[in-house]
Structure 1
């Protein structure tokens, strides 16, 4: 799907690096929209963020923000970082250790021409908005991780950026602080009138904070859409793991999909040609013996791993296809499951989704 915002970010990021890695990513983010850039380590997320911030020049392509060209190598245009209307919250926040919270936030407005008193008033107002008015005189070392994150956010927003870049903004926080800060961040992003790009590897951060997801692997976009579209129809193993589905690619002939190795799965959907077939681990049932009157999809498997997964146990299976099953601890005890044990796996056709590749 092409998005052509009237205001916001329109970019074709092409970066060629020594060693052969190449980034070639199309990005559009409308004003007021929050887009998450997701991908595994080494996918190119940080390269994209550095290019947008002006810390890494493009090899080709362009970056246009609210109609203004910031980087277009073909025309010799390259606006330096300090002249881009962009705010950045880095993973480690990078607050100035010798400055108080209010002076950290005031740094941007002062750099943009405000007098010291005016800049400090702007900063104080932003600290109040993020709930840290009482910490205005505190140095970064006196702040908790969540407080430091909010100071960094206030510093980025105080210059009223057309584009806000967030680089793994919650990664440095512990689980409890992360939950609270994520909710606060969601509220502040909702109030930001500019475009926001969130770079993360955490699917929960992306699902909670973003309006749209862009998945990058090996320097290219492999899938894009809202959370519902991506979770319903993952198109790579990484995306399937991200949304918690067993995913296979094969050839469909109606309700039957033959996957690698010649194993055939039956789905409720009718598809012909190259297709994906997917089902959640919770849909996979395990039996000590081949079940009678069995569902359409049954196969012998061997347990290769057992891990705690929330309130369930995730059972990793090898066999004609590799799969994961989520079962209750009580069921695991009843079945006496352990690595190396043979079992039968079954999934109903009605629980199995098929869609064109």
Structure 2
């Protein structure tokens, strides 16, 4: 390890990443405990890559600080800056970036060699890691001779071979096909469980985040809009982006008992009693579509216009415009019965019992939910 680097068993990331890039500002407080996996999610342009580059030492902070196990790596106010190669950090890039002229063994041995190990000891450590990732018999192969899943495992072994206090994973499964991704995700989960340091997973894939991470941090426009454990975030999204990420319809409104005013003259009836600013959420599967205004049990009905239809698993997801936008999941048989066409007017029905209502935190006031 580099001189003065912390032991990975004691690794704690304590950072406030402030980076100005033209008109864009990243302002991200970020803490990761030893052994914890945190997923950083956000739409394109939210600042995920900027955060990763700042942590890796590829982009200096404008303000704030970055400490790992009590060691300052970047602190503009104190004029502290640590070059990339001196940071106790391992990185798995989206495209893996293996050295094409080196074998798998020498790719993994590269980091330990840079840390000062002689060639024999570095290669022995690399060989041990290739055994751990199940690629001992691929040690002499070069990257072009590896499959996508094998290349990902070599890249992971290379990152972990330096005993990193912080492991950065940049969309580590994005380049894989669906079948390889499933197997590689399971392997990655196993290796992350054995990593004593902190791990930051940068991803846009909610499945990767839910399966691999202990905690989610969601950023939009360079700022945190929501964070928490997987169960909390998926149950109570606080922005349109998070709602789409977890597959829910989400509205912000003002509650008075069982009634929530969403827009002027448009209210939703809910089972939960609340007062004040709230979010209302319900699944697309809770939305029923009718050619005419339905009679009977649904308490919430309104006319809407079909804006688009897409396949969604075994069902179809119908996007509807109107007084509020809404997504509905229906079966192909139901779609055939309704004879769906763009611009068609239908009636939307949502039972009060299918809704969830929870207070809108002050921090989410400008989160962009209508």
TM-score bracket for the superposition, by shorter chain length = over 0.9
Deviation at 1:227?
Answer: 1.1
Contact 1:62 1:72 (C-alpha < 8 Å) held by counterparts = yes
Contact 1:249 1:260 (C-alpha < 8 Å) held by counterparts = no
Structure 2 runs not aligned, ≥5 long: 1-8, 361-370
Residue 280 of structure 2 aligns to a residue in which SS? strand
Deviation at 1:6?
Answer: 7.3
Residue 336 of structure 2 aligns to a residue in which SS? helix
Number of positions where the alignment pairs a residue of Structure 1 with one of Structure 2: 352
Which position in structure 1 is the counterpart of 2:21? 17
Which position in structure 2 is the counterpart of 1:223? 226
Which position in structure 1 is the counterpart of 2:364? none
Distance 1:294 1:316 in 2: 23
2:169 matches 1:166? yes
Contact 2:13 2:31 (C-alpha < 8 Å) held by counterparts = yes
Distance 1:193 1:7 in 2: 8
- Over 3 Å off, 4+ runs: none
Residue range with higher mean Cα deviation, 327-336 or 53-62 = 327-336
Structure 1 runs not aligned, ≥5 long: none
Distance 1:221 1:59 in 2: 18
- Structure-2-length-normalised TM-score: 0.93
Residue range with higher mean Cα deviation, 79-88 or 264-273 = 264-273
- Structure-1-length-normalised TM-score: 0.97
Residue 180 of structure 2 aligns to a residue in which SS? helix
Deviation at 1:261?
Answer: 4.1
Distance 1:160 1:189 in 2: 13
Distance 2:253 2:188 in 1: 41
Picking from 302, 305, 309, the partner of 1:302 is: 305
**Deviation by residue 1:259-306 (Cα, 9 ceiling, x = unmatched):** 134310111111211111111000001111111124110111121111
Picking from 2, 25, 28, the partner of 2:31 is: 28
Deviation at 1:174?
Answer: 1.0
Distance 2:197 2:14 in 1: 13
Picking from 90, 94, 113, the partner of 1:91 is: 94
Residue 155 of structure 2 aligns to a residue in which SS? helix
Which position in structure 2 is the counterpart of 1:116? 119
2:269 matches 1:279? no
Distance 1:126 1:72 in 2: 34
Residue 185 of structure 1 aligns to a residue in which SS? helix
